[in-house]
Amino acid sequence: MIARKCTFQWIDLTGAVVAGDIDLTEVQVERGPMLADRVRCTGAFFLSKAKLSGGVSFRNARLGSSFECDRSTLRVDAIPALDMRGSRIEGEVNLSRSELASAQTHALRAVGVNVVGMLSGTDATFIGPITLADSQFALLQFAGAKIARADGRGRALEAHNITVGMHVIVREGAELDGALWLNHANIGGNLDLSGCTIRNPGKRALSADLAKIKGDVFLRNQQEGETRIAAKLIGSVSLTSADIGGSLFVDQVIIGEEAANTYINFNRLKNSRSNEVCRCDPYGLYRIACEQPHRHAG
């Protein structure tokens, strides 16, 4: 199915069964949403460089290959800009350099999805929170992304109970206006927050309680040539009962704020590789110091 560079008032593909690709590259939808719930497609779904004023509903869909929605603009008011709940994607989900905006709810809602490949939001802009809870991915990539809740509070990236085969990457100047929530996450590689900024003043900026991370955790500045990208977590940090299989790197990163309820909680943190935990100054820089394992270092 091919309809490139076409303009529609709305698109309804609900329940469609397609052998091969669905190619809607550079389409424009001027009024209603694009409905693609329960689509069954043996190939890829292309929405690259699209402009959709009513968002995309892609719930309980099945794709034999990738969902390509890079360099697109999805702007809505009262519904999610992209709703992928319950879908299974045999390839990757590519949202790189796109803008997903919802004035009242989620920019991306992808609860209970199964993506065999990577979900990429590299250099994308999300106005409204992202929810990825209870989902599975090969890799999560949000390098350089901007994620802002419409109300400026709460969780910007909600990913509790996710399973990621490789890495979770939120680095290279990524900015979250709201918390990064990774409680009960199971991450097969690294959690890399080098050079990111997470703002949730007076509340948790990073929560990874009971998370299992087989690789390393990076909370540090990022050096790109002669340019240093500062890492800032404005709010509290909690890794209570987390299990880190690799090392915890905390170097030259600003954590916290001048607020009475700012805290850093590493209670019962397990580190399989060494006895290293963080000794913290709540208003300054954080460095590694040797302590007994599973103790809170404050």
What distance lies between CA 185 and its chain's CA centroid?
12
* Structure confidence at residue 256 (pLDDT): 65
Whole-number average pLDDT of the chain = 86
Which pLDDT value is given to residue 59? Answer: 97
The highest-confidence range among 80-84, 235-239, 269-273, by mean pLDDT, is 80-84
Give the per-residue pLDDT at 290. 28
The pTM is what?
A: 0.86
Assigned token pair, 92: 């990757």
Segment 148-157 shows an average pLDDT of 78
pLDDT at 273 over 80: no
| pLDDT band (50, 70, 90) for residue 232 | confident
pLDDT of residue 153: 63
What does the H/E/C string look like for 114-153?
EECCEEECCCCEEECCEECCCCEECEEECCCCEEECCCCC
Look at residue 182 and tell me whether its pLDDT is greater than 70: yes
pLDDT value of residue 230: 79
Asked if pLDDT for residue 258 goes beyond 90, the answer is no
Environment class of 136 (CB within 10 Å of its CB; exposed 0-12, middle 13-18, buried 19+): middle
How confident is the model over 124-153, as a mean pLDDT? Answer: 90
Structural contact between residues 114 and 145, judged by C-beta atoms closer than 8 angstroms: no
Amino acid at 162: I
Q: What is the signed CA dihedral for 185, 187, 193, 194, rounded to 10 degrees?
A: 170
d(Cα 17, Cα 37) in Å, to the nearest integer?
Answer: 11
Residues 6+ apart with CB under 8 A from 219: 193, 194, 231, 233, 248, 249, 250, 251, 253, 255, 286
Q: Is the pLDDT of residue 296 over 50?
A: no
Task: Quickly state the pLDDT bin for 220 (edges 50, 70, 90).
Answer: confident
